[in-house]
């Protein structure tokens, strides 16, 4: 980003001289005037982010440089000021320091001195924006995902120019991918607390993001003029649009107002409508080999929105439920972890083969799976702080991932990831209440590299922030 400079001097030659000698690549001049009052009006109209650094002559007819700095400092406390003067007056310098002037530039102005001052401002400005962005993210995060019940005004970003809401999901809704906290996101952005693979951004850039992943689904909203009261609803709409557009194995970009992208949905629906009656007859007549072949044929697809595929599977699952009365047929959450059409088809076929086994075969398979499930729970207890996934555990035990997921939920009444989170939260609370570690240290110790996401998880499961839990623990031990 370029930092924005305003030059206020009643001598036009001085203003032109500064502009010519300013060669630092991190800065650009966005405002220049002979009158400081015009800068005050400019900042009031465009906001404090319109200017980062003010170069101002100390002696001017309408408003002196120190008076301008003092008045602007009350409006925008984070502004940096560089006073320009023709003489080195100690009393002026003392007052300048008291009102927060950053530096002092003596005439005649040299190129080396000018750019040296700018170089010294770069880390200060970077830190200013880092802190500001963090405060904005925390405030927006609270409004979006927790509700803003504080009496104080939230620190919202200055988005007078407006923004788009861009939502980008990696893989499937319940896939194993997640956004890395070390990804340098220039815009105001959040990892969704329910879907760690879904990134929400408030951005002035309408283009889709360019990420090194196999597939992603991106939704870009209409243009919003500033933060609106209904932003929660707008974000929920963005999430629903992403899920509606999700097409396994395809990179999809959907923009508000564009016609829905259906891919091969129409042809695939015709195929489903013709095959499902035959599949139903196969279930009734117990022709299970034929049933497997028909399901494999139907779910060999490409470029079909996943919500269309999901609805078709639910039609088949309802038919199977009437025959087998298996409650797992009503829970399709395990299919949300499939990131490709091939995975989806493979998991459905594996499940059907398990469902259609004889009772003795099913019991033997269940006992074997139950042993692996209990070993998995014990493994989580020991390795909860690591980046563990059910796919890796299933591969090590030569068991289908979705089958292991179903058995795990049946045994513990929660999904694998819910179980991992529960263990992490329990350990985190223990570490926080000890008072021996900072919130960031505890987050890393229990497996979260993103402190903000860690705070969301803790608040969601305990109703308290990590800092509050830590402070209560310290108070209790005193």
CB atoms under 10 Å from CB of 102, counted, come to 18
Does residue 424 lie in a domain region? Answer: yes
Residue 69 is assigned to a structural domain of this protein: yes
Which of the four pLDDT bands, split at 50, 70 and 90, describes residue 339?
confident
Q: What is the mean pLDDT of residues 397-412?
A: 78
In which band, very low, low, confident or very high, does the pLDDT at 145 lie, cut at 50, 70 and 90?
low
Q: Computed over its alpha carbons, how large is the radius of gyration of the chain?
A: 30
Domain closes at, from 129, 156, 172: 129
Q: Which of 334, 356, 378 corresponds to the end of one domain?
A: 356
Task: Name the more confident of 431 and 399.
Answer: 431
169: in domain? yes
The pLDDT, as a whole number, for residue 431 is: 92
More confident residue, 190 or 154: 190
* 76 phi-psi bin (left φ>0, alpha ψ -120 to 50, beta other): beta
pLDDT at 272 (0 to 100) = 92
Between 397 and 169, the higher pLDDT residue: 169
pLDDT band, residue 414 (cuts 50/70/90)? confident
Q: Is residue 399 part of a domain?
A: no
pLDDT in tens, 237-262: 898 999 889 998 888 888 888 877 78
- Taking residues 430-455, report their average pLDDT: 87
Q: Give me the chain's average pLDDT, please.
A: 81
Q: What confidence tens digit (pLDDT) does each residue in 340-349 have?
A: 888 888 888 8
The stretch 359-386 carries a mean pLDDT of 76
Same domain, 246 and 269: no
Residue 92 phi, psi (nearest 5): -65, -45
125 in the same domain as 13: yes
pLDDT at 8: 92
Q: Is the pLDDT of residue 46 over 80?
A: yes
334 burial level (CB within 10 Å; 0-12, 13-18, 19+): buried
Residue 148 has pLDDT above 50, yes or no: no
Reported as a single tens digit per residue, the pLDDT across 125-138 is 988 888 877 776 66
Judge if 92 and 17 occupy the same domain: yes
68 and 33 in a common domain: yes
CB 422 within 8 A of CB 377: no
Whether 8 and 124 map to the same domain: the answer is: yes
Please report, for the domain that includes residue 40, its CATH number.
Answer: 3.40.50.2300
CATH code where residue 450 lies = 1.10.10.60
Query: b/e map of 266-302 (b: 16 or more CB within 10 Å)?
Result: eebeebbeebbeebbebbeeeeeeebbebbeebbebe
369 inside domain: no
Contacts of 394 (CB under 8 A, 6+ apart): 400, 401, 403, 404
Residues 186 and 78 in one domain: no
Number of domains in the chain: 4
> Are 109 and 182 found together in one domain?
no
Do 120 and 169 reside in the same domain of the chain?
no
Query: Is 17 in the same domain as 123?
Result: yes
Q: Residue 413: inside a domain, yes or no?
A: no
270 in the same domain as 237: no
Evaluate if residue 227 carries a pLDDT over 80: no
Under the banding of pLDDT at 50, 70 and 90, the label for residue 6 is very high
Domain that holds residue 347: 265-356
Q: What value does the mean pLDDT take over residues 371-377?
A: 88
Q: Where is mean pLDDT largest: 76-80, 173-177, 206-210?
A: 76-80
State what percent of residues in the chain have pLDDT above 70. Answer: 82
From 32-41, 53-62, 189-198, 360-369, the region with the lowest mean pLDDT:
360-369
326 CB-near residues (< 8 Å, 6+ apart): 320, 355
Q: With 50 as the cut, is the pLDDT of residue 181 above it?
A: no
CB 412 within 8 A of CB 377: yes
Most confident of 12-26, 182-196, 332-346: 12-26
34 domain residue, yes or no: yes
Picking from 356, 384, 409, the residue at the C-terminal end of a domain is: 356
Q: Does residue 330 belong to any structural domain of this protein? A: yes
Same domain for 185 and 231?
yes
If one compares 351 and 425, the residue with the highest pLDDT of the two is 425
Q: Are residues 242 and 279 in the same domain?
A: no
Task: State the pLDDT at residue 27.
Answer: 93
- Phi, psi angle pair for 237, to nearest 5°: -65, -40
Residue 371 tokens read as: 């042993």
Q: 273 pLDDT exceeds 50?
A: yes
Q: C-alpha distances in angstroms, 368 versus 261, 362, 390, 398, 409?
A: 44, 10, 17, 11, 16
Pairing of strands 252-255, 80-85: unpaired
């Amino acid at each position: 980003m370029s930092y924005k400079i305003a030059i206020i001097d009643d001598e036009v030659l001085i203003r032109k001289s500064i502009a010519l000698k300013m060669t630092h690549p991190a800065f650009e001049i966005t405002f220049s005037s002979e009158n400081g009052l015009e800068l005050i009006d400019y900042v009031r109209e465009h906001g404090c982010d319109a200017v980062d650094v003010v170069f101002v002559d100390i002696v001017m007819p309408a408003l002196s440089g120190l008076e301008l700095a003092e008045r602007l400092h009350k409006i925008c406390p984070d502004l940096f000021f560089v006073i320009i003067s023709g003489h080195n007056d100690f009393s002026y310098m003392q007052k300048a320091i008291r009102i927060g002037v950053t530096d002092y530039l003596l005439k005649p102005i040299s190129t080396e001195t000018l750019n040296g001052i700018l170089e010294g401002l770069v880390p200060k400005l970077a830190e200013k924006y880092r802190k500001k962005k963090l405060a904005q993210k925390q405030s927006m995060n609270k409004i979006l995902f927790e509700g803003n019940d504080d009496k104080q005004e939230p620190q919202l970003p200055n988005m007078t120019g407006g923004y788009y809401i861009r939502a980008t999901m990696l893989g499937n809704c319940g896939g194993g991918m997640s956004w890395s906290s070390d990804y340098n996101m220039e815009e105001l952005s959040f990892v969704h607390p329910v879907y760690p693979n879904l990134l929400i951004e408030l951005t002035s850039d309408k283009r889709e993001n360019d990420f090194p992943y196999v597939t992603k689904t991106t939704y870009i909203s209409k243009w919003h003029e500033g933060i609106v009261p209904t932003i929660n609803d707008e974000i929920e709409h963005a999430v629903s649009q992403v899920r509606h557009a999700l097409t396994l194995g395809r990179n999809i970009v959907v923009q508000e107002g564009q016609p829905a992208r259906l891919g091969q949905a129409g042809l695939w629906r015709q195929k489903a409508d013709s095959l499902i009656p035959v599949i139903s007859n196969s279930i009734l007549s117990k022709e299970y080999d034929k049933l497997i072949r028909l399901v494999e044929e139907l779910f060999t697809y490409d470029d079909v929105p996943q919500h269309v595929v999901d609805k078709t599977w639910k039609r088949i699952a309802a038919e199977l439920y009437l025959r087998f009365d298996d409650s797992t047929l009503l829970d399709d959450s395990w299919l949300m972890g499939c990131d490709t059409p091939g995975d989806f088809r493979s998991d459905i076929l594996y499940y059907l083969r398990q469902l259609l086994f004889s009772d003795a075969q099913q019991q033997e398979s269940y006992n074997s799976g139950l042993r692996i499930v209990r070993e998995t729970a014990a493994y989580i207890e020991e390795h909860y702080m690591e980046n563990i996934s059910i796919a890796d555990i299933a591969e090590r035990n030569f068991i289908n991932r979705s089958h292991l997921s179903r058995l795990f939920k049946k045994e513990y009444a929660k999904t694998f990831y819910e179980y991992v989170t529960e263990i992490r939260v329990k350990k985190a609370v223990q570490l926080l209440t000890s008072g021996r570690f900072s919130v960031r240290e505890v987050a890393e110790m229990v497996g979260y590299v993103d402190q903000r996401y860690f705070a969301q998880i803790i608040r969601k499961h305990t109703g308290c922030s990590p800092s509050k839990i830590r402070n209560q623990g310290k108070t209790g031990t005193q």
